[in-house]
Amino acid sequence: MAIASLIAGNWKMFKGPAEATSFVSALSPAVAAAANELDVVVCPPPVSLGAALQAGAANVQVFAQNVHWAEAGAFTGEVSVSMLVELGVAGTLVGHSERRQLFGETDETTAARMVAARAGGLQVIACVGELEAEREAGETEAVLERQVGALADAADDLDGLVVAYEPVWAIGTGRVATVEQAQEAHAVVRRILPVPVLYGGSVKPDNAHELLGMPDVDGALVGGASLDVASFAAVCAAGARSS
């Protein structure tokens, strides 16, 4: 599936089942106009996926935040593709920088998760991005080539695959890449993997329109600003205006 434009909210470890249901129920009418122009996605924590789906919002897709590459087995704390599919989940993030930095995810495990998810029919948003020290050392392009190259080498086909460029220094910090930095990085990603590329890193209602207006920015992965219905709906509206 080719995704023209997508705004995804990563809830991280926020919102239990009850809040997930009420949030999606309130979000659905708030994004009614935007969802005619682009795909709106929320990524709740695992225990809240079913509740988010039960809200029954046809214009809000529900993705997981991660998935394991094995079909089943002794992998405590992990969730398989078929378990997500059984719930009705439409896709998943893989390789988020918090997974890479805090839980030891690598380019290889990220690619393995992506391959399994695609084989099972889940859409995938694969996250990449450089650390602040890597940017300051002039290594951004090399880091992206390594991270995106691992995805490209592993991908059987590009259908249903989206990359999120998330400079790690911009995630949850309030610092945001300039539109030039985002555009430059997105062009590198797209040179290696010709798929839609989202920008992530302190996207807010007041900077979304400018970022989403750049030619190689196809949408956004939103953390903090996705936790509030009004601010996430405003980012979605900015994306719809830019599409």
The catalytic site residues sit at 96, 166
Measured distance CA(113)–CA(116) in Å, rounded? 5
96-155 residues near ligand PEP, rule: CB under 6 A: none
Is residue 207 close enough to count as binding ligand PEP by CB under 6 A? no
Selected range binding ligand PEP among 48-56, 110-118, 217-225, 232-240, rule: CB under 6 A? 217-225
Site for ligand PEP contains 201 (CB under 6 A): yes
Residue 90: count other Cβ atoms within 10 Å of its Cβ: 17
Select the span of 16-24, 146-154, 184-192, 197-205 touching ligand PEP (CB under 6 A).
197-205
Q: What Å distances lie between residue 87 and 7, 24, 51, 53, 145, CA to CA?
A: 22, 16, 10, 8, 35
Q: Choose among 7, 26, 30: nearest CA to 18.
A: 26
Give the residue among 237, 215, 200 at the shortest CA–CA distance from 9: 200
222 makes contact with ligand PEP (CB under 6 A): yes
CB count in 10 Å sphere of residue 216: 18
Assigned token pair, 232: 């996430």
Backbone angles phi, psi at 179, to 5 degrees: -60, -30
Under 8 Å between Cβ of 72 and 99? no
**Least Å distance between CB 77 and ligand PEP?**
20
43 counts as binding ligand PEP under rule CB under 6 A: no
Q: Tell which one of 166, 193, 216, 232 touches ligand PEP (CB under 6 A).
A: 166
The residue whose Cβ lies closest to ligand PEP is 223
* Helix, strand or coil, per DSSP, at residue 80: coil
**Residue 205 binds ligand PEP, judged by CB under 6 A:** no
| Residue 221 engages ligand PEP in binding (rule: CB under 6 A) | yes
Which lies closer to ligand PEP via its Cβ, residue 10 or residue 80? 10
Asked if 200 touches ligand PEP (CB under 6 A), the answer is: yes
- Residue 89 contacts ligand PEP per CB under 6 A: no
Contacts to ligand PEP by CB under 6 A: 10, 12, 166, 171-172, 200-203, 221-225
